[in-house]
Amino acid sequence: MKSFWLAGAAALLFSSSAFAGDTIKIGFVSTFSGPTAVIGNDMRNSFELALDHLGRKMDGKPVEVIYEDDQQKPDVGKQKTEKLVQSDKVDFIVGYIWSNVLLASLKTAVDSQTFLISANAGPSQLAGELCSPYVFSTSWQNDQTPAAMGLYMNQKGVKSVFLIGPNYAAGKDMLAGVKSTFKGQVVGEEYTVWPSQLDFSAELSKARASGAESIFVFYPGAAGVQFLNQYAQAGLKEKMPLYTAFTVDELSLPLQKDNALGVPGAQEWVNDLPNEQNKRFVADYRKKYTGLRPTYYGAQAYDAAQLVNSAVVAVKGDTSKKDAMKAEMEKANFKSLRGAFKFGNNHIPIQSFYLQDVVKDADGQLSLKTVATIVENDQDRFHDKCPMK
Amino acid sequence: MLLVVEQFLNGLQFGLLLFLLAAGLTLVFGIMDLVNLAHGSLYMMGAYFAATFVAWTGSFVLGGVMALGATLLLGIVLEFTALRHLYGRDHLDHVLATFGLILFFNEAVRLIWGPAGLALPLPSWLAFPVTILPGIQYPAYRLAIIVVALLVALLLYLGVMRTRIGMLIRAGASNREMIGALGINIKLLYTLVFGLGAALAGLAGLMQAPILTVQIGMGENILILAFVVIVIGGIGSIRGAFIAAIMIGLIDTMGRAFLPNLLRQVLNSASASTAAPALSSMLIYLLMAIVLVARPEGLFPANRR
């Protein structure tokens, strides 16, 4: 509480300089410490690359980015959001990997009428009853990606599945997402303690005993590596094929190695999407950050920077014109790395989802490859609940 | 029924792993009266050493043995340079200093190995499931963990109960001042005990590495459980740590495995599957609370043996 008042006092002191509006201030909340810091780093790298591509200016004004670490904890994320809104008086807040962190931080941004652009988290509440004119997403609603995977499983003729996921906002959305499209039987459903539980032996034993034909999981970050290790060690790879959402990506792949071969995933962005801006993004990323490869987290952060830029350019740098900025952002008038998309009434993209597979590329390194388009122009299933029209 | 057997094995394996971690912690706490929060860092270092040495030598066993030696050495160096100056001080000083060590090790690992973590793939002769009973398949590597940990527990028991050093360790746990007064080189004993504890933590870390990923901060979650184990088992007691660790492993795994189905009898399916993981992770702390109320010294207090 004390720090709150201090923040308030500091905000009063510095508000005059912030009011001048000679720079565009962007707050960036992501995870920069702990095991999932690699994800936050990838988002920051891509965001910085987007600023490079924009000449580090938006409508001729210099851009200042304040990076804040949410430590993957909802309470910390909320504090950092408050700090950005109240003391830094930022024009935009971007970032948020984790749905539970975003849900905790949402009210602060919306109440202060600060634009918040989620570059990853897409909890169902955000798409539905909690939708706001000040909130946009350059990612997806959580259910969309697993729902696409459910469609693919139908195509493959999968008859039954056992679902495993982490027990937090996104985990529940993900499993609900598969169930919304999968036509076969859901034999069982297990939630694990998040993020502390790393041993999935009990859940794998249950999956095997359930007699289901296949397994679906959602484990982002290092948990995805651990799950694939244990799944392979249990000898399930030959018996119960695995279907995933957000479990295999360019960050986890170097650790998953051959365990990830032949494990399909669904995604709205894959590194080999053939549009010009994406080719440039991937090439420049690998040039600027040698040894690293961009992920969908990064691609979404890049798009968030472009979306912010489109709004700033539309109002000629006058960020007090919130209605005009909102109207501009609703047009999604920028070159997205995934190709063109439209926003739904709830500011969530209406977009295509692709089937990705793990292959060895020309360098002999494991990489992700687009195999097919699973669904085109997919809109999330909560947009009806959003009061915005 | 087959599922119960399989889940029992899962619980046993987890419990034995906890035992390896808790054994070192309980010895250091019981004998040297040192609260070592950095024990989890030694677990992490064991895993990092193993991943590095296995990649280097190409042999899982050789790399593992080298990692074990490296963690032992690291423990001895750590005792010599840092922890030695903390003996006889307040527990709060220990907490502060060893918390600092956690930060130090995390940053050191970030500098040396980078932030992304490492993988320690299993050799093919361990990466397959074994049929232990008709209808039950169990990963060979998890069986190997059970065997190794049981062997270590046996050796530790024999070492502590049947050898001269073990006698000194037990004497140290009961009355520190007295064995110093009797002319035993208590400093050397402390260094030895700390090194042993470090090696045990390292062993736990390197055996866990192929199941989990090798990553920064991997020791911090499991350290809390190790502290719960030594509180339940009685501080300073190897036997207590063994029994408490297996109890915790079984409660945790069985809770996760069967609680959702039990809850589904009374709640609707959705809220049962949400509540069960939360509830099962609470069971352990519930047990600790009960033990603390009924027997504040733990189940097998060391100085009453």
**Which of B9, B103, B107, B213 is most worth mutating to test chain A (most A CB atoms within 10 A of its CB)?**
B213
> B201: Cβ–Cβ under 8 A, 6 or more apart, which residues?
B20, B21, B24, B25, B39, B40, B42, B43, B46, B71, B219
Superfamily covering domain A2-140+274-340: Response regulator (3.40.50.2300)
Tokens of B57: 């030598």
Cα A37 from Cα B263, distance rounded (Å): 36
**Closest approach of A24 to chain B, Cα-based (Å):** 31
User: Contact at 8 Å (CB) between B64 and B52?
Assistant: no
Mean pLDDT of chain B: 89
Q: Domain limits of chain B? A: 10-128+138-304
Q: Which residues of B250-280 are buried (b: 16+ CB within 10 A; e: fewer)?
A: bbbbbbbbbbbeebeeeeeeeebbbbbbebb
Q: How far is CA A381 from the centre of its chain?
A: 18
User: Contact at 8 Å (CB) between A376 and A350?
Assistant: no
Q: Per residue in B93-142, pLDDT tens?
A: 999 999 999 999 999 998 999 888 888 888 888 888 888 888 788 999 99
> A328: Cβ–Cβ under 8 A, 6 or more apart, which residues?
A310, A311, A314, A315
To which H or E segment does residue A70 belong? none
Q: Per residue in A247-287, pLDDT tens?
A: 999 999 999 988 999 999 999 999 999 999 999 999 999 99
Cα A386 from Cα A261, distance rounded (Å): 40
Mean pLDDT of chain A: 91
Give φ, ψ of A349 to 5 degrees.
-60, 140
pLDDT of residue B303: 60
pLDDT of residue B274: 76
Higher pLDDT, B236 or A67: A67
- Residue of A197, A222, A72, A221 lying closest to B214 (CA atoms): A222
Contact B119 A255 (CB under 8 A): yes
Task: Give the three-class secondary structure for B132.
Answer: strand
Say if A37 is an interface residue toward chain B (CB within 8 Å). yes
Tokens of A40: 């936050």
Type of residue found at A4: F
- Residue of A229, A300, A296, A97 lying closest to B117 (CA atoms): A229
pLDDT of residue B40: 95
Cα B172 from Cα B186, distance rounded (Å): 8
Contact A35 B117 (CB under 8 A): yes
Contact A191 B273 (CB under 8 A): yes
- The complex scores an ipTM of 0.84
Among the residue ranges B13-17, B205-209, B220-224, the one predicted with the least confidence is: B220-224
Fold that domain B10-128+138-304 belongs to in CATH: ABC transporter involved in vitamin B12 uptake, BtuC (1.10.3470)
**Closest approach of A324 to chain B, Cα-based (Å):** 41
- Residue of B259, B234, B182 lying closest to B22 (CA atoms): B234
Partners of residue A229 in chain B, C-beta under 8 Å:
210-213
Say if B281 is an interface residue toward chain A (CB within 8 Å). yes
User: Contact at 8 Å (CB) between B230 and B290?
Assistant: no
**Range B55-72 average pLDDT:** 95
**Range B44-55 average pLDDT:** 96
pLDDT of residue B175: 78
Say if A188 is an interface residue toward chain B (CB within 8 Å). no
Cα B252 from Cα A380, distance rounded (Å): 37
Question: Which segments within chain B are labelled E, that is strand?
Answer: 129-133, 136-139
Question: Which band of pLDDT confidence, cut at 50, 70 and 90, is reported for residue B166?
Answer: confident
In whole angstroms, how far apart are CA A220 and each of A217, B204, B286?
Answer: 10, 25, 30
Contact B216 A167 (CB under 8 A): no
pLDDT for A84 beyond 60: yes
Say if B13 is an interface residue toward chain A (CB within 8 Å). yes
Closest residue of chain B to A196, computed from CA coordinates:
B221
pLDDT of residue A337: 96
Cα B22 from Cα A3, distance rounded (Å): 39
| B192 burial type by CB count under 10 A (0-12 exposed, 13-18 middle, 19+ buried) | middle
CB proximity under 8 Å: A 48-77 to B: none
Cα B269 from Cα A217, distance rounded (Å): 19
pLDDT for A7 beyond 60: no
Give the number of other Cβ atoms within 10 Å of residue B136's Cβ: 18
**Range B188-217 average pLDDT:** 92
Place of tokens 């939708």: A131
pLDDT of residue B134: 82
| A93 burial type by CB count under 10 A (0-12 exposed, 13-18 middle, 19+ buried) | buried
**Range A284-302 average pLDDT:** 95
Partners of residue B221 in chain A, C-beta under 8 Å:
196, 198
pLDDT of residue B213: 83
Say if A228 is an interface residue toward chain B (CB within 8 Å). no
Contact A226 B121 (CB under 8 A): no
Point out the residue among A34, A167, A205 whose CB comes nearest to the CB of B10. Answer: A205
Partners of residue B6 in chain A, C-beta under 8 Å:
205, 209
Partners of residue A206 in chain B, C-beta under 8 Å:
3, 257
pLDDT of residue B49: 97
Partners of residue A205 in chain B, C-beta under 8 Å:
3, 6-7, 10, 257
Closest residue of chain B to A225, computed from CA coordinates:
B213
Q: Per residue in A166-191, pLDDT tens?
A: 999 899 999 999 999 999 999 999 99
Cis peptide, bond prior to residue B296, ω within 30 of zero: no
Say if B14 is an interface residue toward chain A (CB within 8 Å). yes
Boundaries of CATH 3.40.50.2300 in chain A? 2-140+274-340, 144-267+354-378
pLDDT for A321 beyond 80: yes
* A–B interface: beta-carbon pairs under 8 A: 105
CATH of span A144-267+354-378: 3.40.50.2300
Say if A205 is an interface residue toward chain B (CB within 8 Å). yes
**Which of B8, B12, B142, B256 is most worth mutating to test chain A (most A CB atoms within 10 A of its CB)?**
B256
Higher pLDDT, B161 or A11: B161
Partners of residue B107 in chain A, C-beta under 8 Å:
none
Contact A201 B253 (CB under 8 A): yes
Give the number of other Cβ atoms within 10 Å of residue B304's Cβ: 10
Give the number of other Cβ atoms within 10 Å of residue A71's Cβ: 18
Question: Which band of pLDDT confidence, cut at 50, 70 and 90, is reported for residue A21?
Answer: low
Say if A23 is an interface residue toward chain B (CB within 8 Å). no
Say if B241 is an interface residue toward chain A (CB within 8 Å). no
What number of CA atoms fall less than 13 Å from residue A51's CA on the CB side?
16
Partners of residue A210 in chain B, C-beta under 8 Å:
none
Higher pLDDT, A355 or A17: A355
Cα B152 from Cα B170, distance rounded (Å): 18
Q: Per residue in A208-219, pLDDT tens?
A: 999 999 999 999
- Residue of B193, B142, B113 lying closest to B13 (CA atoms): B142
Contact A191 B276 (CB under 8 A): yes
Partners of residue A226 in chain B, C-beta under 8 Å:
211-213
> B294: Cβ–Cβ under 8 A, 6 or more apart, which residues?
none
**Range B154-173 average pLDDT:** 87
Question: Which band of pLDDT confidence, cut at 50, 70 and 90, is reported for residue A138?
Answer: very high
pLDDT for A142 beyond 90: yes
Say if B121 is an interface residue toward chain A (CB within 8 Å). yes
In whole angstroms, how far apart are CA B175 and each of A183, B179, B188, B303?
Answer: 68, 7, 16, 8
Partners of residue B124 in chain A, C-beta under 8 Å:
none
pLDDT of residue A35: 80
Cα A98 from Cα A74, distance rounded (Å): 8
* Pairing mode, strands A185-192 and A160-166: parallel
Contact B277 A193 (CB under 8 A): yes
- Residue of B141, B159, B156 lying closest to B64 (CA atoms): B141
In whole angstroms, how far apart are CA B183 and each of B1, B179, B180, B189?
Answer: 57, 7, 6, 12
